[in-house]
Chains A and B, each alone.
Chain A
Amino acid sequence: MKNSKMHLSTETMNLGFVRKVEALSGSSVRRCFQCGKCSAGCPMRTFMEHPPNRIVRLLQLGQWERVLAGRSIWYCASCETCSTRCPNKVDLAAIMDALRKLSWDANGPSKESYVQLANRLFIENIKTYGRQYEMRLAAVFNIKSGQFMKDFLLGPKLLTKGKLKVFHQKNRNIGEIEQIFSRIEEMRKKGEAP
């Protein structure tokens, strides 16, 4: 996929997807003239198979599958260095956010990424406890991802420093948290929230 030939035509270039990204992010994709400053300063560049500028380039050509297939968008740390330094006012951090959202919705090409799983468990914990319950997050993630011993040796360290609690602590105002979730759900139904 990564190196295969691109056949460009009005059918193969999904410009509708690009418009969605532009609407979600509030930033132009076409405006980018590929100077590469975003990739030059990106702290996560070494982990990405498509550097940030190439993500935009692929978007310009409507190659949404190539963008979502990779893990690059999930490595983005949202540090916003790219957006701050872009000479052409392209808000790349917002574009990355939009791409992650669209990838999530598509529930497809980026499924191989554990980031989706981690994000889902994270939100579920918030929903249930009104705050994060790290022990459960780690345990469920390791089981579901099949990597049972992942980061296991980190546990004792975090425990002694008090960063990891064995038992969960529930938020006292869980009711309000629930309201927040239901409000977002309503907005989504009306199409006011992504």
Chain B
Amino acid sequence: MSRIGVFVCHCGENISRTVDVERVAEAAGHISGVAYATDYKYMCSDPGQGLLKKAVAEHKLDGLVVAACSPRMHEKTFRNAAKAAGLNPFLCEMANIREHCSWVHEDREEATAKAIDIVRLMVERVKKDKALQPITVPITKRALVIGGGIAGIQAALDIADCGHQVLLVEREPSIGGHMAQLSETFPTLDCSQCIMTPKMVDVANHPNIKLYTWSEIENVDGYIGNFQVTIRKKARSVDMDKCTGCGVCMAKCPQKKIKSKFDCGLGTRPAIYVPFPQAVPNAPVIDRENCTYFKSGKCGVCAKVCGPGAVDYDQQDELITEPVGAIVVATGFELYSIAEKPKGSSIKGYGEFGHGTIPDVIDGMTFERLASASGPTGGKILRPSDGREPKQVVFVQCVGSRAREKGISYCSKVCCMYTAKHTMLYKHKVHDGQAYVFFMDARTPGKSYDEFWRRAVEEEEAVYIRGMVSRLYQKGDKIVVMGSDVLVGVQVEIEADLVVLATAVQPRQGADSLAQKLGISYDTYNFYSEAHAKLKPVECATAGIYLAGACQGPKDIPDTVSQASAAAAKVMTLFAKDQLEREPIVARVNERNCVACFYCKKVCPYGAVEEKEIRDRQGNLVRVVAYVNPGVCGGCGTCQATCPSKSVELDGYTDEQVMAMIEAL
């Protein structure tokens, strides 16, 4: 026979306004198994909690029901009070008579009757509650950072500075990401290279950072505190220990006409190359698709000229498995392409803008390379088609962004600001040139952002035209821009020398497959989802994995750096403990009943279900069953609902408890 205490809260007037709390307490006192029932104005207050503790001692209570607000609000408060009173905290349950009752009903009689029912259900549940002990899991104090752009670099440096080891994995031959491609950055117009490259060098020199460039994530196993990560180190064809970065191989490579991806196809590079002169590491990589040696077996010039003998044509991809305790995902973004897209893609191209076939219609990143002092033109703004200086430049914002018809309905957030910056850079370099901007809205929230945009309009004399461009077409050596000024209400036509499209920010291609390897969720656009938009903006729903930068959604540099540092702080919070303590609301498998269908494994959103082999003493395999790793389980109960043989039970929410609650109604 249980001795349960029921504590009914008035919540000021929040509950007592519609529910007769005294009647609820009285009715609760008559439920079988209830030894004590009372009501109080503010149960969560210090005297209210004191009342609860006193009653536990006086009436020797072995279970508590607090009829008050939602468990989301105060379950922790009352469980702590129960713990202080000497009870196992998991023997205390909340009966929600506020959000589920008083706030949503008007009739006092009916609300009171419902409140009594809710209390009765919870009393039945508490009767079958078991004392649970917190789960502890060990932590590997080593972090993996995926992506070596500014987000990954910042997160890696912060974690490493805190004394923990960091593995930084980058897909390209050098770290730096998109920020290394930028010319100058808003809103202060400081040179991107000047603020970026010192951080890249810091990463290379940091004793706690292990850098894997030209590498990709092959597989991720494990759970918070205990991940096993397999990294594919792609064959570089250059021995990084021997290479001195002298650059002779690049100078002598006969294959020189390969379009540079870093320069957005404006410049060229040899087949053995570093993407840009300030690359970290400074060791080149052989582009095997374009290398004459790999295509025909002849040439081999780079190996001949290399003094230290670092060129190694026989190098193979290498798979390395590393244990880590936390993962920061910082895979960044890529830009929407206006070119025609293959059938089946949800993203459409821009036929009205020539599907990317007009040579002097470029995107924002290409303009960055034109304006960059280290770019293919040495910082001169020249048209890609004939190398002439453009005198009329038209910028078009919201290309792809906020275009539901093209498959994207979000705002890319950075375009308004970088287009304003582009007009300034253009005006600074071509004094007699005129910049025009077609915009739908100018969105410039951020410190010193609106002032920056207004400066472009008022002082740098960029002509902003409100309205979207309808069509672009080549006419002679000009590009005709057909638009409209909706403020005046007339059509506008401009014959431009160069058109720069502020194309939408999209997640990296392959973002979804990486998410599947990591077991994290992503939205319809493949941006990674945070656990809570406001209160958990850095954490993934999967424990131990954190997000930084534009892989989560379009972000500018200040926001990216802030989020990267926030993700690093979350990792350090995790690493501050030696063992991880988790709430023991986890699923358990009844191994005798389990038929090994593994439906639970398929539905588990946390990747907590594993296949467990049961062996006899001789080591012979008897059978395979499901096993829920308590370190990973999020306690959602999906497996319990799915299991066809009723072999999975969630502690605190067992079938027996739920049935008892239903029967009490």
Determine if A72 is an interface residue (Cβ-Cβ < 8 Å). no
| B490 close to A13 (CB less than 8 A) | no
In the complex, what's the smallest C-beta–C-beta distance from A35 to chain B, in angstroms?
A: 11
Contact present for B392 and A28 (CB under 8 Å): no
* Residues 19 to 65 of chain A near chain B (Cβ within 8 Å): 28, 30-31, 33-34, 53-54, 57-58, 60-61, 63
**In the bound complex, what is the Cα–Cα distance between A58 and B485 (angstroms)?**
10
Known contacts A28-B458, A57-B485; A8 and B493 CB within 8 A of each other: yes
Q: Are B494 and A7 in contact (CB under 8 A)?
A: yes
Contact A6 B487 (CB under 8 A): no
The tally of CB-CB contacts under 8 A between chains A and B is 59
Query: Are B490 and A9 in touch, CB under 8 angstroms?
Result: no
Taking the complex as formed, is B172 at the interface, i.e. its CB lies under 8 A from any CB of chain A? no
Which of B487, B490, B495 is A34 in contact with, Cβ under 8 Å? B487
Is B461 a contact of A30 with CB atoms below 8 Å?
Answer: yes
Decide if B487 touches A54 in the complex (CB within 8 Å).
Answer: yes
Which of these, B392, B465, B490, contacts A5 with CB under 8 Å? B490
User: Shortest CB–CB separation between residue A92 and chain B, in angstroms?
Assistant: 15
Q: Tell yes or no: A107 within 8 A of B by CB.
A: no
Beta-carbon contact of B434 and A6 below 8 Å: no
Select from chain A the residue with minimum beta-carbon distance to B494: A8
Judge whether B306 is part of the interface by a CB distance below 8 angstroms.
no
Which 9 interchain pairs have the tightest Cβ spacing? Answer: A5-B491, A30-B458, A57-B487, A6-B492, A8-B494, A10-B434, A7-B493, A34-B487, A6-B490
Whether B493 contacts A3 by the Cβ 8 Å rule is: no
- List the A side residues contacting B488 at CB < 8 Å: 6, 54, 57-58, 61, 63
Bound: A5/B490 CA distance, A: 6
Q: Which of B405-452 contact A (CB under 8 A)?
A: 432, 434, 436
Say what secondary structure dominates the interface of chain A: loop
The CA of A5 and the CA of B493, in the complex, are separated in Å by 7
Report B-chain residues with C-beta under 8 Å of the C-beta of A57: 485, 487-488
| A115 to B543 CA separation, bound complex (whole angstroms) | 76
A9 B495 Cβ-Cβ under 8 A: yes
A147 within 8 A of B: no
Asked whether B288 is an interface residue with its Cβ less than 8 Å from the other chain, the reply is: no
Please, which residues of chain B bring their CB within 8 A of the CB of A7? 492-495
User: Is B85 part of the contact surface with A, judged by Cβ < 8 Å?
Assistant: no
Residues A6 and B493 in contact, CB atoms below 8 Å apart: yes
CA distance A61 to B483 in the complex (A): 14
Known: A30-B457, A31-B458, A33-B454. A8 touches B490 (CB 8 A): no
For B463, what are the chain A residues with a Cβ–Cβ distance below 8 Å? 8, 13, 60-61
The answer to whether B489 has its CB under 8 Å from any CB of chain A is yes
Please name all residues of chain B whose beta carbon is closer than 8 Å to the beta carbon of A160 when the two chains form the complex: none
Q: Which residues of B contact A10 (CB under 8 A)?
A: 391-392, 432, 434
Question: Which A residues are CB-close (under 8 A) to B454?
Answer: 31, 33
Q: CB of A173 within 8 A of chain B?
A: no
Q: Separation in Å of the A4 CB from the closest CB of chain B? A: 7
A189 to B485, CA, bound (A): 41
Using Cβ atoms and an 8 Å threshold, which residues of chain B touch A2? 490
Per-residue contact bits, chain B 607-643, to A (CB 8 Å; 1 contact, 0 not): 0000000000000000000000000000000000000
Cβ contacts under 8 Å, B490 to chain A:
2-6
A7-B493, A31-B458, A57-B485 known, 19 other contacts, Cβ within 8 Å: A3-B489, A5-B492, A5-B493, A6-B491, A7-B494, A7-B495, A8-B465, A8-B494, A9-B494, A10-B391, A15-B461, A30-B458, A31-B454, A33-B454, A33-B457, A34-B466, A57-B487, A61-B463, A63-B488
- A6→B463 CA distance, assembly (Å): 14
Q: Which of A57-110 contact B (CB under 8 A)?
A: 57-58, 60-61, 63
What is the interface residue range for chain B against chain A?
Answer: 20 to 34
Chain B, residue nearest A54 (CB): B488
Cβ contacts under 8 Å, B434 to chain A: 9-10, 13
Nearest neighbor of A5 in chain B, beta-carbon distance: B491
Whole-angstrom CA separation of A7 from B436 in the bound complex: 12
Evaluate contact between B492 and A8: CB separation under 8 angstroms.
Answer: yes
B489 contacts across to A, CB distance below 8 A = 3, 54
Q: How far is the CA of A10 from the CA of B487 in the complex (A)?
A: 20
Q: What residue of chain B has the Cβ atom nearest to residue A4's Cβ?
A: B490
With CB as the reference atom, state the residue of chain B lying closest to A63.
B488
CB distance from B498 to the nearest CB of A (A): 14
Contact between A61 and B495, CB atoms less than 8 A apart? no
A interface footprint on B487-514 (CB within 8 Å = 1, 0 otherwise): 1111111110000000000000000000
Interface-central residue, B457, B463, B488, B493, by most chain A CB under 10 Å: B488
Within the assembled complex, what's the spacing in Å between the Cα atoms of A34 and B493? 21
A187 to chain B, nearest CB (A): 32
* Chain B residue, CB-CB nearest to A58: B488
Q: What distance in Å separates the Cβ of B484 from its nearest Cβ neighbour in chain A?
A: 9
> Whole-angstrom distance between the alpha carbons of A54 and B487 in the complex?
7
Contact B466 A6 (CB under 8 A): no
- Give residues 103-123 of A contacting B (CB, 8 Å): none
A-facing mask of B7-39, CB < 8 A → 1, else 0? 000000000000000000000000000000000
B431 shortest CB reach to chain A, Å: 12
Q: Which of B392, B457, B485, B487 contacts A9 (CB 8 A)?
A: B392
- Of chain B, the residue at the smallest CB distance from A1 is B490
Q: Closest Cβ of chain A: how far from B404's Cβ, in Å?
A: 25
Residue of A nearest to B492 (CB): A6
Chain B: which residue is nearest A10 at the CB level?
A: B434
Give complex CA distance A9, B434 in Å. 8
* Alpha-carbon distance A57/B466, docked complex (angstroms): 10
Q: Could you tell me if A8 and B436 are in contact, using CB atoms closer than 8 angstroms?
A: yes
Give the Cβ gap from B29 to chain A, nearest Cβ, in Å: 65
How many whole Å from B459's CB to the nearest CB in chain A? 8
Q: Give Cα A61–Cα B457 distance, bound, in whole angstroms.
A: 12
| B residues 458-488 in Cβ contact with A at 8 Å | 458, 461, 463, 465-466, 485, 487-488
Looking at the assembled complex, report how far the CB atom of B469 sits from the nearest CB atom of chain A, in whole angstroms: 12
Among A6, A8, A31, chain B packs the most CB atoms within 10 A around the CB of A8
A157-192: which have CB < 8 Å to B?
none
Question: Once bound together, how far apart are the Cα atoms of A34 and B487, in whole Å?
Answer: 8
User: Which residue of B has the minimal Cβ distance to A29?
Assistant: B458
- Alpha-carbon gap, A6 to B457, bound state (A): 20
For the complex, give the distance between the alpha carbons of A74 and B146 in Å.
66
Distance of A34 Cα from B442 Cα, bound (Å): 12
Residues of chain A within 8 A of B491, CB atoms compared: 5-6
* 22 chain-A/chain-B pairs, Cβ below 8 angstroms: A4-B490, A5-B492, A6-B485, A6-B490, A6-B491, A6-B492, A6-B493, A8-B436, A8-B493, A9-B392, A10-B432, A10-B434, A13-B434, A13-B463, A28-B458, A30-B461, A33-B454, A33-B457, A54-B488, A57-B485, A61-B465, A61-B488
Q: How many whole Å from A23's CB to the nearest CB in chain B?
A: 16
- A33-B466 Cα distance, complex, nearest whole Å: 11
Chain B residues within an 8 Å CB radius of A58: 488
Q: List residues of chain A with CB within 8 A of the CB of B485.
A: 6, 57, 61
Report the minimal beta-carbon distance from A90 to chain B, rounded to whole angstroms: 11
| A9 contacts across to B, CB distance below 8 A | 392, 434, 494-495
Cα–Cα distance between A6 and B493 once the two chains are bound (Å)? 6
Residues of chain B lying within 8 A (CB to CB) of residue A53: 487
CA distance A120 to B490 in the complex (A): 34
B229 smallest CB distance to A (angstroms)? 51
A3 to B434, CA, bound (A): 24
List A contacts of B457 (CB < 8 A).
30, 33
